[in-house]
Structure 1
């Protein structure tokens, strides 16, 4: 389905529904890059939504690694399963439930990627610290300013290092009857950091 090593699977290659969000292709590419994935790693995708991050991560960590995709929305879980099947991946486990409860029972992770969490991002970052291996990476996609502020506070309190903040605003082309126009998408802030 995706014969390339580079991330950036086009959004239209994924199964989609209006009820479940997808991390857009360009933002996903940056998040996967900031995660610094390699074969054999264990990755959490918290707030997996459509499963696009899970699929990209699953391809990067290869069959020797694993991805644990977590979401509290049954629609997201079903869509993630469809996309895993579509891309023929067997190294992704899908977990239905509240990440704040489920994360405690999971094995240690090399990388934790946090997306749509329904307002619990700060708490999930705090819980993630004990699940990340030393030197492990955390990557958080944020759209709200309030979430950005609270996440930066907790990362500082937990003494994460190499904190990087990248805000991206993407515009995509769209054909019109008279030519091509650029349509802006909502800005996304990506925070990445390393556990000491």
Structure 2
């Protein structure tokens, strides 16, 4: 099938690794586009060459313009559909205008060299995340809790050493990190490190490298695991709080219904226990821990490092004032208000994405009344429960129960998208039931 653009994967060893199909596609092209290092393998081509080094945006526009006449061959490294130019072109042009001739991807070559089965591997790209960002590697550690074998693309800013230092800072040292340089070329080099050794390594690696990470321990989230106990959180001193206790915390997280790619607000975060446990669910999303008390800042940050939740961002300021600057949430937990409960609830409710959830904990009768009156004034149905927890305590040679303060937990769901859409269709038969839900568009969250 003839297409306007054929995207050709070029191995680093050039001609020896090229297929006849790839060579013929270039020889028949009207225009060739790509990096000069790939162009050198096709000396027989004498037509126009669009040089990628002139600037990516300019180059991409030229490729798209030339594609209107057809006969364009784009040269790319490895498999162009593996974190490559193929995905970018598919966003700009219909799939019917593109065809692909891949070669072995960098991940394929890396796992082959290391003799590692890679059907369960995960793939991350740190490419293009500049150090001018708030944190170029924000969320990397959280993503890496979800697997045991990773292949990571790096760049000149987010080098293997920078990545190792980020893992080290969050205490995630249980990895063997292997730097695979110039895969497939005569200058190929493969070197394995511990996290600490790579973090201290002064070697300047070739920019064309892939980092393979193999887990050495199942101790996830800093060894605390998911749904950690209260003792795993450093708390503000001299007080023993502020922390939402474990049983209440788990019920609140259940009510929030957090998905991996979602954005979460924890307003009045205190020690950060809700934010941190939410981050263990939103591993491809982001969590904002909003706290205005400076006495809590150090312990909250320390807890994030201890639990390996680098997808939590501390927002130091008072709600509701700071909330307008945050990304729209899918879930909001309010654990403290400093007297501004109605305003916080109104702004949080307004900011929620379609189908989002708002959960509020209340200890005092005054707070319970505020939340109830706010819901009544806004004609919002609520789900409320009183949580009474008693824990065992020693008494001489016996065990007794010690009651904790009762907690009210309020839950609200944004029904801009109905829980059961109006276009739900059910067709019963003797053997099956077919359920069709209306699709809706969700906001994308930048992820690895």
Structure 1 and Structure 2 fold alike (TM over 0.5): yes
- Aligned counterpart, 2:234: 15
- Aligned counterpart, 1:31: 252
TM-score, structure 1 as length reference: 0.92
TM-score, structure 2 as length reference: 0.41
Q: Which secondary structure does the structure 2 equivalent of 1:107 belong to?
A: coil
- Aligned counterpart, 2:275: 54
- Whole-angstrom distance in 2 between the partners of 1:32 and 1:51: 13
Tell me if structure 1 keeps the 8 A contact 2:224–2:232: no
- Whole-angstrom distance in 1 between the partners of 2:321 and 2:311: 22
Q: Which secondary structure does the structure 1 equivalent of 2:287 belong to?
A: strand
Q: CA RMSD in A?
A: 1.4
- Aligned counterpart, 1:179: 398
How many residues end up aligned between the 2 structures?
191
- Aligned counterpart, 2:369: 149
What's the CA shift for 1:159? 4.2
- Aligned counterpart, 2:410: 191
Q: Which has the higher contact order (CA 8 A, sep 6+)?
A: 1
What's the CA shift for 1:153? 2.3
- Which among 350, 353, 362 is matched to residue 130 of structure 1? 350
Q: Which secondary structure does the structure 2 equivalent of 1:89 belong to?
A: coil
Bigger drift between 115-124 and 98-107 goes to: 115-124
- Whole-angstrom distance in 1 between the partners of 2:249 and 2:412: 17
- Aligned counterpart, 1:3: 225
The structure-2 alpha-carbon separation of the partners of 1:185 and 1:167, relative to structure 1 and needing over 3 Å to count, comes to same
- Whole-angstrom distance in 1 between the partners of 2:359 and 2:298: 24
Tell me if structure 1 keeps the 8 A contact 2:383–2:411: yes
Q: Which secondary structure does the structure 1 equivalent of 2:320 belong to?
A: helix
- Aligned counterpart, 1:44: 265
| Structure 1: runs of 5 or more not aligned | none
State the Cα deviation string for residues 25-62 of structure 1 (Å, max 9, x = none): 00101100110111001000000000100111000111
- Whole-angstrom distance in 1 between the partners of 2:229 and 2:299: 16
Q: Which secondary structure does the structure 1 equivalent of 2:355 belong to?
A: strand
**Which protein is bigger by CA-based radius of gyration?**
2
Tell me if structure 2 keeps the 8 A contact 1:129–1:158: no
